[in-house]
Structure 1
């Protein structure tokens, strides 16, 4: 009900008496009315520019223009204000024609019992339409923001769905699938079985097992594996991470992202290889040290030991002579 709201009505009527009848009916129904009455196209154009009207009430035929002209003016200005035709001498054929052109409703001046209900219905529908437009605008902004975010992410954003009879599908796939998977979003959503076909045979089992575990335990689906894009000789490592939700109909829905981790894997392999080489080098150096120690020990034993023995042998005679001299004294 709008009986506590001001109703802005634009009257297109050349009869002041008929206009007063309409305004009296609306006032008695509890509306607080703000209205303007026009009789020419110039006044109508001006009125449409300066005010947003809740509803337009128009006679079918005025001395200088008719309801068809009114509809054209409203459309030319891009307005969706409900137009209700009130006439006294129009037949059913003309009424049907004017309704087809875009009039909201049609009634005779001799029977205005439907006027208030029709206005209230038009206000509700206009309000609902405005809400729809607001929601649609907000949705479009959200979609544009989402697209802007996903287009700058280094991976494929996706929704993966598994029905109660294990039918897989992709309700959503971002544009990056073309680069990572060699498949357009539309193609992958139309043919979800194309993704498992990319996975190398040795990684398919872990892909399926981790997916089922995630579905059963409602845990995060984490999987790493190799894929090979059709027509591409290189193998890619990808990391898949998705969060599951169980829908009311029993369907499992994952929201996730797939990223290319080939560089990381190659770097890990290079680091592992470098560590192995370092370990081999360390082992070799240790072996060289031990060999060098053994060589030095042999040299000390063989060369220096022999020299010391020879020196000792040379010193014994001298020591004996010295001892005899000392004994005489």
Structure 2
């Protein structure tokens, strides 16, 4: 017994034959070749139709010359049922013309009944080819389904899916664009695939160089492309985002697969938020200005009117006490206590007036004002506090609003430390670095937590951040490296002018 050439030795054969001798010879040939055939014999058209419609067959072997059922009729029946099966005709010797007609009509092979040596090899060949055709149809069906799913998905995405190819000669061409191109650009798919220049010409003239540069960089580094810019579409300006990944081919081509999305609405919202932020910033600056004016008025009233009244009261009290030489000792002590309270009141009024409107800031400058504030803080709270200022600040004339903002920030920070930090040591450092004013405040207290900064009523930090933002500066606050809290800010000497970033240098430790 031979070894079958097909992987599966079992074959399901449909034998179309009106006699008994022919099918037996055919089956015996397959058994000798090592196969285990299962078979069924039919002898008329009705039985053939029923067998083809209800069972699966590997091959149909049709004898020529069956009364009422010719090989050509059997072939037509298979076509009607849309079956692709190996169909081999077995004809008597001398029926060459009939064999030729069968072959022309679609039979896969014709064999002489007296010479069946080619039967098994012919069936093996045709079965392999039929199975290959079936696999190909299945693959094509899967490919069709996959393409259909992809096109459905692409057509429902909010944008245009694309494949852009840069050929080895530098020419750019869209190999595929989804239906979203019509909504974005007003063109049909074949318009863009026919000429990619339509797309590049639609890009705003100011943004076009940026797109070309981004594409060139993506091609050079084989890096993802993520670009935002404007296009002109239907006499309107739209914002788009292009996101794609490049892929190089062995032929020297570069393929970008990606999506173009309409981000006009997002850009509009972004613009509205920016304008709202600018308006809030302007309102905040206005309120700060109004607050400073009110502070100046109150400080002036305290200094001029309340201070004068307290001085007058003290003088009158001193005169009154001098006219009581024979008064009881308790009464003199009362007069002395009143004078002491008046001294405290005058000191408090003077301190409040200075805090409301620090005259030292105008007379001696920011460094001296901060030193004075630090000394006053240490005296009032008992917390050790020292200030360090840079000699490079000498002769630097800051705008009044910049000096005042930095002074208020120091005030606010020291107030927060006194209330919440439980610190025993505070250090304030004011320096000048490459056109920037840098202020650092550290303490050795309990430290600040992320939850503290996220509190909805942390108005102190919000106020500091808003002041810095209005001056075009940077602000950060975090837990210190060795405990406590570290507040750092950097603002340009002249707000509105971008200063160069400071060079990295070892930071001097404050404590």
TM class, shorter-length? 0.7 to 0.9
- Alignment partner for residue 162 of structure 1, among 157, 162, 166? 166
Scaled by the length of structure 2, the TM-score of the pair is 0.57
CA distance in 2, matches of 1:64, 1:308: 136
Give, in angstroms, the shift of residue 323 of structure 1.
5.8
Greater Cα offset, 158-167 or 301-310? 301-310
CA distance in 2, matches of 1:301, 1:224: 59
Give, in angstroms, the shift of residue 236 of structure 1.
0.6
CA distance in 2, matches of 1:2, 1:272: 73
The answer to whether residue 115 in structure 2 is matched with residue 111 in structure 1 is yes
CA distance in 2, matches of 1:308, 1:22: 133
Partner of 1:187: 191
Give the count of matched residue pairs.
319
Give, in angstroms, the shift of residue 303 of structure 1.
7.2
The answer to whether residue 111 in structure 2 is matched with residue 87 in structure 1 is no
Distance 1:3 1:309, change over 3 A: closer
Partner of 1:39: 43
Partner of 1:243: 245
The SS at the match of 1:129 is helix
CA distance in 2, matches of 1:235, 1:209: 21
Partner of 1:147: 151
Deviations 1:263-311 (A, max 9, x none): 1111111111111111111222222223334444566677778999999
Give, in angstroms, the shift of residue 238 of structure 1.
0.5
Partner of 1:269: 271
CA distance in 1, matches of 2:173, 2:206: 23
Partner of 2:182: 178
- Kindly indicate whether the alpha-carbon contact (under 8 Å) linking 2:61 and 2:90 is maintained by their aligned counterparts in 1: yes
- Alignment partner for residue 257 of structure 2, among 255, 259, 262? 255
- Kindly indicate whether the alpha-carbon contact (under 8 Å) linking 2:91 and 2:99 is maintained by their aligned counterparts in 1: no
Distance 1:60 1:305, change over 3 A: same
Partner of 1:18: 22
- Kindly indicate whether the alpha-carbon contact (under 8 Å) linking 1:45 and 1:73 is maintained by their aligned counterparts in 2: yes
CA distance in 1, matches of 2:106, 2:128: 18
Deviations 1:27-52 (A, max 9, x none): 22222121112211122122223321
Scaled by the length of structure 1, the TM-score of the pair is 0.87
Give, in angstroms, the shift of residue 97 of structure 1.
3.1
- Kindly indicate whether the alpha-carbon contact (under 8 Å) linking 1:84 and 1:106 is maintained by their aligned counterparts in 2: yes
CA distance in 2, matches of 1:308, 1:11: 129
The SS at the match of 1:241 is strand
Deviations 1:71-119 (A, max 9, x none): 1221222211111111124333x43332232211222223333222210
The SS at the match of 2:207 is helix
Greater Cα offset, 146-155 or 49-58? 146-155
Structure 1 spans left out of the alignment, 5+ residues: none
The answer to whether residue 129 in structure 2 is matched with residue 125 in structure 1 is yes
CA distance in 1, matches of 2:313, 2:24: 146
Partner of 1:223: 227
The SS at the match of 1:249 is coil
CA distance in 2, matches of 1:22, 1:167: 63
Deviations 1:244-271 (A, max 9, x none): 1111111111111111111111111111
Root-mean-square deviation (CA, aligned residues, Å) is 2.8
- Kindly indicate whether the alpha-carbon contact (under 8 Å) linking 1:3 and 1:32 is maintained by their aligned counterparts in 2: no
Q: Which has the higher contact order (CA 8 A, sep 6+)?
A: 1
Structure 2 spans left out of the alignment, 5+ residues: 327-511
CA distance in 2, matches of 1:289, 1:19: 111
